[in-house]
Chain A
Amino acid sequence: MKKLAFSLFGCLCFLFLLSCSKAPNNKVILRLDGGWYIPPAFHGNPYAPGGDGTHMHFIWNRLFLLVPATDQNIPRLGLSHNISSDRRVLTIKLRKGVLWHDETPFTAKDVKASILIKYAGGWGDIIRRIKTPDDYTVIFEMREQIGAIDEKIIFNDRIMAPYHIFGKITDRIEKIMEEDDRKMTGPQKEKSAAIFEKKAEIMQEIYSFRPSVPIGTGPFKFSFVTGSDFGLKKFKKGFEAKKISIDEIRILKNVSNDITWAYLIGGAIDVTHPATLQDVTEQILKLNPKTRLILPSDYGEFGFVFNTKKYPLSDIRFRKALAYGVKKDNIRLISYYYSKTVSNYNTGVLHSLSDRWLDKSDLDKMTSYDYNPEKTHQILKEMGFSIDKEGFYLKPNGLPLKLTIAGFAGRSDWVLGCEGLVSQLRKLHIRAEIKTYEGALFHQRLAANKFDIAANFGADYRAYAHPLTTFERYFGNGAYIKSASGMPDQVKYHDGTTLSFKKELHVLNKAREPGLIKKTVGKLAWAANEYLPFLSIYEKNLMIFVVDGKRVKGWPSPEDPIWSASSAGMESVFAYLISTGIVRSVKEYR
C-alpha cells in the first residue's frame, strides 16, 4: 500500500513538472507595447470608451493609408477614388474579396455605416447623402464643394462598423441625414437643434453597445485580453493573409515611458515609440545592436500656449517680450533631443513644410523673434515692470510678477519642456513655477483659461500635411488653442483691414487656386506670428525603435517615406508593413 501511494505521488510530481515545462512553440509572435482597457472594462465596440486602444490598428483597416511625405494614398479597403469636376461628388471603389473576422463579406454598406457613425458623432455636415450603387462602390454626394482635407478625412477613417452588426442603428442615422438635408435645403436654412439631439441620442446608443469581441477586417483578429497582455492572431482569411508571415501580435501593457525603456533594454519588444532622452536612447542602442531608431516627423510642433485673457499675457507686448527672451533650442535639448529645431517665427505653419506654404515675401511682413534677452528687458521696462531687491521683476502695480507653467503630468517630455521654460524665465528675472495636472484635469484647466502658460502642441498637421488643421486649432470657433489662449474672432491685419478668422478659414478650406491658398495661409500665419497665441519650441519627431533581425526583419530604412504615415498612428504603419509582407518573420529569411 505504501509503495502504491509512493508511486502515485511520484507520478503526480512528474506530471506536475511536465505541465510546468514550456511546450515547444514555433509560432512567430511580434511584440510591441500599448494601451487598452483592462477587463472587465474592455469590450469589442471601438466607438465607446473601453473598446479603443493599440489593438485597433491591427483589427480595423482604413480606406487608404495617407503618406504625407509624398502626398500618396495607399489603397487598403479602398482601391481607387474619384472627385467630380464640380468637386461635389466623391466616388470610392472598394477592394473585393475582403471578409470581416466573423467571415461576413465586406461591402460598400459597411463603409457607409462607418461614415454615418462619424456623421452622428459630429463630423460630416458637408455630406448630403451616401449612395452604394453596388457592393464595391460608395458615392458621397456633398452639399458644397469638397474642402481641402475632407476626402482625406474619409480616406483616413477606420472602417469599424460592419453593417450586419451596426446596420439597425446606421439606418436610423441615414434617416437623420436625410432630414438634416431637407432642413438645410428647405425654407429654414438653420440647422435644427432637434437634429443634434437625435444624433446625440443615437451616439448614446452606440456607446452603450458592448459586444464582447471586436470584429474588423484587419490583418489580425482578437485572441485574448488580460491586464498585462493583449493577444491578436493572424486572420487567415484576410485579403493579405498569404503575405503575412507573423502568426500573432502580442501587445504588452505600457503605462509610462520608463516601462517601455525597460521592455526595449530587456529585448522584450520588437517595435515601439516612446519619447526618450538622448542618454537613454544611446544606452538602448548600445545594449541592443539589432535595434534601430527611426525619426519621422510627427507633423506637430510642441510649444507653449499663452493665456491672452490674463494680465500680463493679455498684453501683446509682454508675449513678444517672452518670445524674444526664450532660447528655443535649450528647451528642445532637455525636453526632446531628437526633435527638429524650428525657426524664430511662430506662424503655425510646420517648420519642415514651411517652404510649401510660405515664401520670403510672407516672412518679410512678420516679426522674427531672434533670441535677444536685452529686447525682453527693454520691452518689460517700457511696460512699467521693475526689478525688486531679490532681482526679480515686479509688475507695474508693484506686485511680484510670477508665471505658472501648466504641464501634463503623464508626459515626461512636456514636463521637461516646462522645466526648460521655467529655467529660462528665471534667467530673465521672471519668477516662474510648474504645475502639472493629470489627464482630463489638464485639458479642463486650459478650456477654463485657468493657467498662465501651458505646454501643448500648436501646429498639428496629422496625416493631412495641410495647415488648415492647425489654423482651425488656433482660430476656429471652440477650437482647442483658440479656447485656451482666448484669441478673438478677428484681428487687425498689417494693412489696417480686419482679418476675420472664420472667413479666412472658410477660404482656406474651399480654395483650389494655389495663389489664393498661399495668400490665405500667409494671412493666417501672420496673425499667428504677430498675435502670438502660441510659442513654438520644436517640431516633434516620432521616435520609432525597431528591432531588426531578432524575431522579425525587413523594417524600411529611416528615409523611407512610408514612415511619414506614422503621424496618423504608428501602429497602422506597423500593421501595413506586416500585412504587405515587408516586415517578415526572421525564419523566412533563413
Chain B
Amino acid sequence: MKLIDSLTSRYKILTHNNRAFFGFLILILYFLMATIGPHLVSLDNIIDYAGRYQGISLQHWLGTDYAGRDTFSQIVHGSTDVMLIAFSTAFFATFMAIIIGIFSGLKGGRIDAFIMKIVDILLTLPQFPIMAIFAGIFTIKDSITFGILLACFSWAPLSRGIRSQVLSIKNKEFIEVCHIMNMSTFHIIFKELLPNMIPFISINFIHIAKNAIIASVGIMLLGIVPLSVTNWGMMINIATKQVGAIYVPHALPYLLSPIFFIVVFQFALINFASGVEELFDPRSRGR
C-alpha cells in the first residue's frame, strides 16, 4: 500500500511538470514502437532501384532510401536495437560509474588516487585501436552485450564527475549529522548522497544513451557486430558518408528521418530528466 502511495505521488509530481510528462509520453511512444512496432510494420529489404529516394506518400510515410526500401519500416525495426543499445549502455555505464565514483569519493586517500589514476588512463586511451583489437577477439550477437561493450568505454567520465560530487557533499553538515547519529553507509549513500546527485546522473545517463547510438556505428564499421542498415546511427552514416544523400535534394526525407527520431528521443529524455530532478529534489518543484 505504501509502495502504491509512493508511486502515485511520484506520478503526480511527474504529471504536474508538463515538460516531464510530455517527455514521458514520447518515451512511451518510442517504447511501443520498439516493442509492438516491428510486429505491425513489416520490413521489406528487397532492393527496388527504380523506386529509390521516393518522397513522403501514403504508401511510404517517410519516403524510400537509396535502394527503394521503405524508410519508415526501417526506422520502426531499427528502434528495438537502438533503444536496447542506448538504454543498456547508459544503464551499465551509469551503474559502473556510480559504484566506482561513490566508492572512490567516500574512501579518499590512496584508494581514491589509485582509482582516479585508472580512470585517467581510461579517459586518455584511444578507443578506436582498442575496439579494433576487440573486433579480432570477440563476436557480439545481442544488443545487451553490445551495450555492455559500449558501457566499458563510457563509464569513466561520469565516475569522475560522481566522485567530485561525493567529495563536495560528503563534508556537508547533514552528512556529518548522519555520521554522528551512527547511520549506516548504506543509508548515507542511498538516502543522502544519491538523491542529491540524481539530476547530475540523469543528465549524464541521457548523454551516454545518445552517444551510444552514434558510437554503435563505429563498432559496426569495425566488424565487432553485424552491420545493421536499420540502426538509426548507421542510417545517418550511410546517408551522409556512403551514398551521399546529403547532396541529393529529393533524398532529404530519407536523410532527415533518423536524425528527427534521434533528436526527438533526446528531447524526450531531457524533458523527462527535468521531471526526475523534481522527484528527488523538492526544492526544484514548481520552478
Contacts and interface: CB of A to CB of B under 8 A. Distances in A.
Interface of A: 256-258, 261-262, 265, 276-277, 279-280, 283-284, 330, 333-334, 404, 406-407, 409, 412, 415-416, 418-420, 422-424, 426-427, 433-438, 441-442, 444-445
B118 interface: no
Contacts of A334: 47, 49, 66-67
12 contacts: A257-B244, A258-B246, A262-B247, A279-B250, A330-B47, A409-B222, A415-B242, A426-B45, A434-B227, A436-B222, A441-B132, A441-B136
Contact of A412 (B222, B242, B249, B251): B242
Contacts of B132: 438, 441
Nearest to B244: A280
A420 B227 contact: no
A406 B223 contact: yes
A423 B230 CA distance: 13
A436 B223 contact: yes
Contacts of B242: 257-258, 412, 415-416
A438 B243 contact: no
A279 B53 contact: yes
Interface residues of B, number: 30
B123 to A, nearest CB: 23
B226 interface: yes
Interface in B208-246: 220-223, 225-227, 229, 240-244, 246
A-B residue pairs, 7 tightest by C-beta = A280-B244, A433-B226, A412-B242, A437-B223, A434-B227, A333-B49, A279-B248
Contacts of A441: 132, 135-136, 222-223
Given A257-B242, A279-B66, A445-B223, 7 more contacts: A258-B240, A258-B246, A265-B247, A404-B226, A423-B67, A433-B226, A437-B222
A277 B226 contact: no
Most buried by B among A262, A279, A333, A434: A279
B180 interface: no
A438 B132 CA distance: 8
B4 interface: no
A257 B226 CA distance: 23
Interface in B26-63: 45-47, 49, 52-53
Nearest to B69: A423
B223 A276 contact: no
A162 B229 CA distance: 51
Given A258-B246, A412-B243, A423 B222 contact: no
A280 B246 CA distance: 9
Given A258-B241, A277-B66, A423-B67, A437 B247 contact: no
A325 to B, nearest CB: 13
Contacts of B246: 258
Nearest to A448: B136
A409 B221 contact: yes
A412 B66 contact: no
B248 A283 contact: yes
Contacts of B220: 436
Residue from the set A256, A407, A426, A435 with the largest chain B CB neighbour count within 10 Å: A435
B233 to A, nearest CB: 14
Interface string B109-149: 00000000000000000000000100110000000000000
Nearest to B225: A435
Contacts of A412: 241-243
A438 B222 contact: yes
Nearest to A426: B45
A442 B221 CA distance: 11
A427 B46 contact: yes
A213 to B, nearest CB: 31
A444 B132 CA distance: 12
Given A435-B226, A436-B227, A441-B132, A279 B251 contact: yes
Contacts of A433: 226-227
Nearest to A442: B223
B231 to A, nearest CB: 12
A407 B242 CA distance: 13
Given A333-B49, A334-B47, A419-B229, A256 B241 contact: yes
B69 to A, nearest CB: 8
A442 B272 CA distance: 43
Interface in B50-107: 52-53, 66-67
Contacts of A445: 223
Contacts of A258: 240-242, 244, 246
Contacts of A437: 135, 222-223
Nearest to B50: A333
A419 B67 CA distance: 10
A261 B49 CA distance: 21
Contacts of A423: 45-47, 67
A509 B250 CA distance: 52
A372 to B, nearest CB: 18
A371 B126 CA distance: 48
A258 to B, nearest CB: 5
Contacts of B244: 257-258, 261, 276-277, 279-280
Interface in B253-272: none
Q: Which of B45, B49, B220, B244 has the most CB of A within 10 A?
A: B244
Nearest to A424: B47
Interface centre among B53, B227, B242, B247 (most CB of A within 10 A): B247
A5 to B, nearest CB: 48
B255 to A, nearest CB: 12
A424 B45 CA distance: 9
Contacts of A424: 47
A436 B237 CA distance: 14
Nearest to B243: A277
A364 to B, nearest CB: 33
Contacts of A426: 45-46
B64 to A, nearest CB: 12
A415 B227 contact: yes
Contacts of B136: 441, 444
A283 B245 CA distance: 11
Contacts of B67: 334, 419-420, 423
A393 B100 CA distance: 47
A441 B240 CA distance: 24
A434 B45 CA distance: 13
A276 B243 CA distance: 8
B49 A330 contact: yes
A400 B129 CA distance: 33
A283 B243 CA distance: 13
A409 B31 CA distance: 31
A43 B47 CA distance: 47
